[in-house]
Amino acid sequence: MRTARWAMEVFVTRRIPAAGLRALSEAGGCTVQQWDSNEPVPRAELLAGVAGKQGLLCLLSDRIDKEVLDAAGSGLKVISTMSVGFDHLALHEIKKRGIRVGYTPDVLTDATAELSVALLLATCRRLPESVEEVKNGGWTTWKPLWMCGYGLSDSIVGILGLGRIGQAVARRLKPFGVKKFLYAGSHPKPEIAAEFQAEFVPITRLAEESDFIVVTCALTPETQGICNKDFFCRMKKNSVFINTSRGAVVNQEDLYNALVNGQIAAAGLDVTTPEPLPTDHPLLSLKNCVILPHIGSATYTTRNTMSVLAANNLLAGLKGEPMPSELLL
């Protein structure tokens, strides 16, 4: 039997890819308690599970707030989230307690950018609607005016948040013949934008001039609800709105009205508020709104890599070593 030089207890809030769990168990010295289910851990189980632990490996669907931190107690040293987003973590409270945080940027950039492009094309070329017409007999003949949508060729694409994923989206869209890229965000990034000759503009101009808008910014107090009535009213009537960041960046009621009133042509959302979106939600009744169940990073390889990175972040934090991807608070 291997004797551990350090003995730590961790709580894992969900069933994760085996590779991630293996990384934890092979490290030795780390006792894992896991909510071994595909469904979210009930709040009471989370509060009980985290009690007395030194490490917590969680997902973006777990709200890690003061209550959880209090339940964990003063021994909690590390929180490792298997996500690039960290809006589910009460960072102020976490920082106050001196807890380190790991996350999983970079490894999901390609998968998420790919999904963003897939969603954009599915939305602007009306793929779900078309598939449905084939199944329901709506496809009676080839019709010149039927199922027309909007193409990327010669278009203006606006990226809200030219971070890692926004850049990867622009890189993938460029070969489709995009005429011009605009981007908006907290500050200009001239070196990065040079690759796409992208122009930094105020968000109002992004809304007014873009044929396609792709939202890839992080959810922060500044970006919460930023895509609102004013934003959608400024957009062109034939423009398409895509969001693969976080649902709360969008005021969904305003988006619904924009889609119903023809203020914009269509929307594709991989993220909503809440998640899951209730099946009777008004947005789901619209043909010009394509909604996916938050699958941006969902490739087998990416999810495996994310789980291993999350495990390695946790282990490094527990040992007091530099993490492969630490969120600096």
What is the binding site for ligand GLV (CB under 6 A)?
60, 83-85, 108, 296-297
- CA 189-216-219 angle, to 5 degrees, is 100
CB of 3 to ligand GLV, least distance (A): 36
For residue 77, give both structure tokens. 């040293």
CB of 108 to ligand GLV, least distance (A): 6
Using CB atoms, what's the residue nearest to ligand GLV?
85
| Of residues 71 and 108, the one with the C-beta less far from ligand GLV | 108
Other C-beta atoms lying within 10 Å of the C-beta of residue 53:
23
Q: Which of 88, 92, 187, 294 is flagged as catalytic?
A: 294
| Of residues 102 and 149, the one with the C-beta less far from ligand GLV | 102
| Of residues 8 and 60, the one with the C-beta less far from ligand GLV | 60
Q: How far is CA 267 from the centre of its chain?
A: 16
| Of residues 65 and 106, the one with the C-beta less far from ligand GLV | 106
CB of 86 to ligand GLV, least distance (A): 8
| Of residues 126 and 294, the one with the C-beta less far from ligand GLV | 294
Among positive and negative, which fits the CA dihedral 303, 309, 315, 317? negative
Q: How far is CA 192 from the centre of its chain?
A: 21
CB of 148 to ligand GLV, least distance (A): 32
Closest CA to 210 of 241, 245, 249: 241
Other C-beta atoms lying within 10 Å of the C-beta of residue 117:
19
Contacts of 244 (CB under 8 A, 6+ apart): 112, 115, 116, 119, 165, 214, 215, 216, 270, 271, 296
Helix (H, G, I), strand (E, B) or coil at 122: helix
CB of 2 to ligand GLV, least distance (A): 33
- CA 147-152-158 angle, to 5 degrees, is 120
CB of 84 to ligand GLV, least distance (A): 4
Give burial (CB, 10 Å; 0-12/13-18/19+) of 228: middle
| Of residues 83 and 210, the one with the C-beta less far from ligand GLV | 83
- 294 as an active site residue: the answer is yes
130-168 b/e (C-beta count within 10 Å ≥ 16 → b): beeeeeeeeeeeeeeeeeebbebeebbbbbbbbbbbbbb
Helix (H, G, I), strand (E, B) or coil at 156: strand
Catalytic machinery residues: 294
